[in-house]
Amino acid sequence: MVYIVFLGAPGAGKGTQAASMARKLKLAHIATGDLFRQALERGTELGLKAKSYMEKGVLVPDQITIDMVLERISAPDSGGGAVFDGFPRNLKQAEALGEALARQGKAIDKAVYIKVSEEELLERLSGRRVCRQCQAPCHMSDSPPRVEGRCDRCGGELSQRPAATEVSIKKRLEVYSDETAPLIDYYRRAGKLLEVAGEGGVEVVGNRIVAALGGERL
């Protein structure tokens, strides 16, 4: 059983790399941003609660987020372990996750921090398109879809996230440095941090992550 957290700024490539690591290691991929967006597409109460926070680029309140994740980790497909993407995002969430896993005799094994410069982050976030169906991201100049407007993985319709405006992107980067970046030290102090350079192509970064995790006894 393996539990891995992916850390990094908005646009660092957490979603891209976490999805592929989860497939490789046969773990559940738990992405809080994707779960909120799916809830919003379905028009559920959870989606409506999350909507205004996401549009502003600020964090959805901790209790809503933590409850959603705790429910998700008790689903049958999470029994063999999970890759967390976009969660935890502050110390309160990190502690809640640690405590919930500890109650089941489990723990986070590693936190993979994908490090990318701010200039590159802005470039990636403005060119990103996301599949409305499976949430897979692609990039209009770096990894354009084979068929225009369609997802390479499932054929679903590609769209730009509603929160992709310049103001919202700037706000998300600010919230990241104030609230989420302290988690880098939190996991470093716990001896769990693996820092990986996030620039270079998707495959190059993926290989670095595999090498970093491969050097660990999980």
CB 62 → ligand AP5: shortest distance, Å? 7
Instruction: State how far the Cα of 2 lies from the Cα of 18, in Å rounded to an integer.
Output: 13
Is residue 12 a contact point for ligand AP5 (CB under 6 A)? yes
Question: Sign of torsion, CA 20 194 204 85?
Answer: positive
Place of tokens 């790399």: 17
Is residue 113 a contact point for ligand AP5 (CB under 6 A)? no
SS3 13: coil
User: Among residues 115, 161, 171, 192, which one is catalytic?
Assistant: 161
Place of tokens 């705790």: 70
The widest CA-to-CA distance across the chain, in whole angstroms, is 47
Q: What angle do CA 151, 38, 111 make, to 5 degrees?
A: 85
Which among 55-63, 74-82, 94-102, 144-152 is the span making contact with ligand AP5, rule CB under 6 A? Answer: 55-63
Instruction: State how far the Cα of 124 lies from the Cα of 10, in Å rounded to an integer.
Output: 9
CB 37 → Mg ion: shortest distance, Å? 10
Comparing every residue's Cβ against ligand AP5, the nearest one is 33
Is residue 81 a contact point for ligand AP5 (CB under 6 A)? no
Is residue 15 a contact point for Mg ion (CB under 5 A)? yes
**Closest among 149, 154, 148 to 135, alpha carbons compared:** 154
Per DSSP, what are the bridge partners of residue 197? 115
Which among 10-18, 21-29, 74-82, 183-191 is the span making contact with ligand AP5, rule CB under 6 A? Answer: 10-18
CB 217 → ligand AP5: shortest distance, Å? 27
Residue 200, burial from CB neighbour count under 10 angstroms (0-12, 13-18, 19+): exposed
Which among 15-23, 103-111, 139-147, 195-203 is the span making contact with Mg ion, rule CB under 5 A? Answer: 15-23
Is residue 145 a contact point for ligand AP5 (CB under 6 A)? no
Residue 1: both structure tokens together: 């059983």
Q: Is 172 a catalytic residue?
A: yes
> Which residues are tagged catalytic?
14, 89, 128, 161, 172
> Which residues would be at the binding site for ligand AP5 (CB under 6 A)?
8, 10-16, 32-33, 36, 53-54, 57-60, 65, 86-87, 89, 93, 124, 127-128, 137-139, 142-143, 172, 200-202, 205
Q: What are the residues binding Mg ion (CB under 5 A)?
A: 15
